[in-house]
Amino acid sequence: GSALSLTGLWEVPHVQLQRLADLALLTPALPANSSRLTVTEARFADSRALVFRPAGARAGGPGLVWIHGGGWVFGSPDASAGFVTRLAMRINITAVAIEYRRAPEHPFPAAFDDCLAAVRSILANASSVLGVNPHRIMLGGDSAGGQLAASVTQALAKAEDQLTPRLQLLVYPITQLANFRTQSHRESYRSPLLEGSQVARSASMYLTGSIRHWRSVIGNGHASKSVRAAYAERLGESMPPESSHADATLAAKLEKLLIDPRVSPLLTPSIDPLRLPPAYIVACQHDPLRSDAHLYSQRLEKSGVRVYYKYYPCYHGCLTEDKDAKRIVDDMAVFFNSNAML
């Protein structure tokens, strides 16, 4: 019945149809070039990107790289243009929104690899191509894009790259794929704009290239004993036991992946506060991912990383709502303008 039809909706041809529908119905037209803003296409590494240049952005000033959300399956730089434009115009900085390969056609590590390569290319060419200071670039993203931004930030720090982001800007990020029974997953399972089952379907496609494991994922049946042990050790709290659909074969396959910081930045073995930049983290009350944001902010803080944690009484996906997006951007602007580090 409904379970079969739901699953069918998420097979590859249907995902592609849904993307076309999103493009037609949900993706706003790009802002028209004007005396106040120019929008151009560019390529960094192998990724298409949109570059937003407000007329007031000063040469050698700060910049923003934005990684879109959409559960690693949907979304695009074009779909995030509304928020990116609003933020870039509000604080007068050049912003770049990057594209990456999406699941299920391109499961992990495609999205991570694309984003890491694109961010490195942007940092290397920031001055010559974008006219911004490569030492003053913020890296951000929303939802799955927040996960990618956090993971790329960690990867650049671990590799000891000379150029790394000045700030990580994470808006209702996914920060781990091991525990789908966090407090917020249980409380906001039926959240209006993002249900817990949607996160599980996306995670199944991203991790395995197939939706068929989503019931095991949402019941924590995909997490092995060693994953649970690592979760408890790194966060100081135990995962709830699996509720249903335990899958030992899947758990064995995902054992290393679920605690890989390229997938679960929250569960990285260690955090070096001298290398990781400060984090500005946005969490929403009615959101299955609220605990992900909260736990990551706590872990960063305990490790000595500066964290600015903002909590709003709204829903996941509220960057697309004018009133909520304005409030979030206004708060970001106050923060940026009051911090000499930017």
Give the CA distances from residue 7 to residues 3, 16, 104, in Å, rounded to whole numbers and listed in that order. 6, 14, 13
Distance CA 276, CA 154 (A): 7
- Give bridge partners of residue 132 from the DSSP assignment: 61
Count Cβ atoms within 10 A of the Cβ of residue 140 and give its class: 0-12 exposed, 13-18 middle, 19 or more buried: buried
pLDDT for 237-269, tens place per residue? 999 887 778 999 999 999 999 999 999 999 999
State whether residue 312 is helix, strand or coil.
strand
Q: Which domains does the chain have, with CATH numbers?
A: 2-338 (3.40.50.1820)
The structure's pTM equals: 0.91
How far from the centroid of its chain's Cα atoms is residue 179's Cα?
17
SS (H, E, C) 125-177: HHHHHHCEEEEEEEEEEECHHHHHHHHHHHHHHHCCCCCCCCEEEEECCCCCC
Cβ neighbors of 66 (< 8 A, separation 6 or more) are 77, 80, 83, 84, 95, 96, 97, 98, 140, 141, 145
Give me the half-sphere count of Cα atoms (radius 13 Å) on the Cβ side of residue 294. Answer: 13
pLDDT at 6: 42
- Give bridge partners of residue 48 from the DSSP assignment: 43
pLDDT for 223-233, tens place per residue? 999 999 999 99
Structure tokens at 250: 């899947």
CA trace torsion 273, 276, 278, 283 (10° rounding): -100
Q: What is the DSSP string of 233-257?
A: HHHSSPPPPP-S---HHHHHHHTTG
Q: Are strands 61-67 and 167-171 parallel, antiparallel or unpaired?
A: unpaired
pLDDT at 30: 72
Distance CA 228, CA 116 (A): 28
| Residue 194: pLDDT band with limits 50, 70, 90 | low
Distance CA 298, CA 294 (A): 6
pLDDT at 319: 60
Q: Is the pLDDT of residue 320 over 70?
A: no
| Residue 40: pLDDT band with limits 50, 70, 90 | very high
pLDDT for 86-131, tens place per residue? 999 999 999 999 999 999 999 999 999 999 999 999 999 999 999 9
Count of residues in the chain? 342
Distance CA 74, CA 80 (A): 11
| Residue 289: pLDDT band with limits 50, 70, 90 | confident
pLDDT at 76: 94
Average pLDDT of the residues of the chain:
88
Distance CA 10, CA 84 (A): 28
pLDDT at 339: 80
pLDDT at 199: 86
Q: Which of 45-49, 171-175, 249-253 has the lowest mean pLDDT?
A: 171-175
Dihedrals phi, psi of 312, to nearest 5 degrees: -125, 145
Distance CA 281, CA 275 (A): 18
Average pLDDT, integer, range 268-295:
89
pLDDT at 2: 32
